[in-house]
Structure 1
Amino acid sequence: MRLTVVGCAGSFPGPESAASCYLVQADDGTGRTWNLVLDLGSGAFGALQRYVEPDAIDAVGLSHLHPDHMADVSGLYVYLKYSPEPLARRQVTVHGPFGTASRLGEAYGLEPGESLGDHLAVHAWQPGRPVRVGPMTVVPVAVEHPLPAYGVRVSGPAEDDAGRTVTLAYTGDTDACAGLDDLAQGVDVLLAEAAFLEGRDTVRGIHLTGRRAGEAAERGGVGRLVVTHVPAWYDPEDAVSEARALFSGPVLGAYPGMVVAL
């Protein structure tokens, strides 16, 4: 299993990166590569096409319904509906919080009587209920954010040994909470947002800081921590430094095109 960072800018696209989007891939026993996209935020659909053809996407998982995590699903819908080229598929499965179908329809601006369903098969996350995407198992975990939000644990075959199972956890947007600790417990890689900076952003219940991401990684016994979702007005290295002060393992800062093998 491997993670490619497509977009990692926090809250809005930055000059160097699209908003949140992460491609998780795993090969099954026949050698077929399965493609799971976690979030498809503003500006991300264009960058995503550098790494995977849109009709090869097997599933999209949306952490929550703020635009920086879901706006570019509209672009995927347009591609699947109107592409003049023959496509391997014209429908992609989308998982997200309750209300995802109506939110996506509003974002796109559906005409009366028009439905997403022919091109986006939308399903609501059920906390703790696994979803299969080829050789990967995706488990949603409710976290703390102003909108209903989920992190996910994705388990699948190790990149260097298909007989070994590895786990990636993605926090989506959250503050420290019991769900975050459940996500982080024992994972090989924790992909954690850190949109807030210690000492400056004091409001709670919205985002992590690098420090709080590092604390969660340390409590969970995480293998590696990847810090992401840092807004363009902050230096990502500040979030990384905060995390390193609390987490004894390796800490990496996400950047577009970054590949992490699990």
Structure 2
Amino acid sequence: MLLTVLGCSGSAPGPKAPSSGYLLEADGFLLGIELGTGTLAELQAVRDPFALDALLFSHLHPDHCGDFADLTVIRRYHPAPTRNPRELRLPVYAPGEAPSRFAAAYSPDEADRAATDLSDVYAFHPLAAGTVHIGPFEISAVPAAHPCESYSFRITHGGRSLVYTGDTGMVDRLADLARGADVLLSEASWTHAPDRPADLHLSGTDAGVLAKRAGVGLLLVTHVPPWTDKDAILAEARAEFQGETVLVRQGASYRI
């Protein structure tokens, strides 16, 4: 599997730093994971947007899905698509409210059904706790500790595994999900402090503790907001986890 980072800024985009967005590729299948603010431009810089075979969303906060409406414009109105989007509707795996939420973001006029019904170019699949197969990937989803319907994922292919926390507070099921994973892609939105809100985000310390408890091979730290000290986050994670720990970079690729 090859993981490419389109954006990794947490909670909001920063200067020249898009929000969350990743590409995961194996066996010629291209899976988009999140499409946060600014990531569609980065996608077009490296791949044809019609090359996407499916999209997967952990939750529906804008920093994880804000560019979906713009992707809809491309899929509906591009004059020379390399794939017919109406014959090959893009599968979208997301929380259950995705069709209505994405339609409202695309057009607030509910009377305009042609604009608000996106099923002409997408095939929506509601997520739930459990396992789903998307192309060559087996994806196990567990509920994340976040204020909205949200999931963490374990993605496996060819005997290799990637665990993506999404946005979440620290809960025991995260360590269970990540047990023995080759790569843990973990958010870390703030430095550690006793007064941080529960069930919202992980700290750098939390990410390191999670990696150590789960016994992962590589910790990739992501989703650091533009106002948070990245070096401090990385130092916290490395203080807890003695394995390889990397702060992901926009545009970088990591082989799993």
Report the alpha carbon displacement of residue 150 of structure 1 after superposing the two structures with TM: 0.4
Q: Runs of at least 4 residues of structure 1 off by over 6 A? A: none
2:104 maps to amino acid: E
**8 Å contact kept, 1:36–1:61:** yes
- Quote the residue 2:214 is aligned against: 220
Deviation of the 1:179 alpha carbon:
3.1
Which of residues 55, 59, 80 is equivalent to 2:50? Answer: 55
After TM superposition, give the deviation of residue 50 of structure 1 in Å: 2.0
Secondary structure at the residue paired with 1:153? strand
Uncovered stretches (5+) of structure 1, i.e. residues with no partner: 28-32, 158-164
Could you say if the C-alpha distance between residues 113 and 137 of structure 1 is closer, same or farther in structure 2, counting changes exceeding 3 Å?
A: same
Distance 1:6 1:200 in 2: 32
Could you tell me how far apart the structure 2 residues matched to 1:168 and 1:175 are? 19
Contact preservation (8 Å) 2:55, 2:92: yes
Describe the SS at the equivalent of 1:217: helix
Amino acid corresponding to residue 132 of structure 2 in structure 1: P
Larger deviation: 188-197 or 122-131? 122-131
Instruction: Tell me if 1:210 matches 2:204.
Output: yes
RMSD over equivalenced CA pairs, Å: 1.4
Q: Map 1:17-28 to 2 at 5 A.
A: 17-27=17-27
Q: Quick one: which amino acid aligns to residue 83 of structure 1? A: H
Contact 2:50 2:81 survives alignment (8 Å)? no
The aligned counterpart of 1:117 is 119
Structure 2 counterpart of 1:162: none
Unaligned 5+ runs, structure 2: none
After superposition, where does 1:114-193 map in structure 2 within 5 Å?
Answer: 114=114, 115-133=117-135, 135-157=136-158, 165-193=159-187
User: Aligned residues: percent identity?
Assistant: 40
* Partner secondary structure for residue 72 of structure 2: helix
Q: Write the distance in 2 (CA, Å) between the matches of 1:201 and 1:105.
A: 37
TM-score calculated relative to the size of structure 2: 0.93
- Bigger drift between 182-191 and 209-218 goes to 182-191
For 1:81, the equivalent position in structure 2 comes to: 76
Tell me the distance in 2 between the aligned counterparts of 1:242 and 1:225: 12
Is 2:91 the partner of 1:93?
yes
2:23 matched to 1:2?
A: no
Q: For 2:167 and 2:125, how far apart are their aligned partners in 1? A: 20
Taking the aligned partners of 1:78 and 1:138, their CA distance within structure 2 comes to: 28
Please tell me the residue identity of whatever aligns with 2:80. E
Report what 1:103 is aligned to. 101
**CA pair 5-200 structure 1, distance change in 2 beyond 3 A:** farther
For residues 178 and 80 of structure 1, do their structure 2 counterparts lie closer, same or farther at Cα, with a shift above 3 Å needed?
A: same
**Could you tell me how far 1:237 is from its partner in structure 2?**
1.8
Instruction: Note the C-alpha offset of 1:198.
Output: 1.3
What displacement does 1:152 show? 1.1
Corresponding residue of 1:231:
225
Question: After superposition, what is the alpha-carbon deviation per residue over 1:198-245, rounded to whole angstroms, capped at 9, x for unaligned?
Answer: 138611110000100111111111000000000001122211111111
CA contact (8 A) 1:171 1:183 kept: no
| Alignment: residue pair count | 249
Q: Which amino acid aligns with 1:145?
A: H
**For residues 173 and 53 of structure 2, what CA distance do their matches in structure 1 show?**
26
Residue 232 of structure 1 aligns to a residue whose secondary structure is: coil
Q: Are the structure 2 counterparts of residues 79 and 201 from structure 1 closer, same or farther at C-alpha, using a change threshold of 3 Å?
A: farther
Match of 1:248 in 2: 242
Give the aligned partner of residue 30 of structure 1: none
- What SS does the corresponding residue of 1:104 show, helix, strand or coil? helix
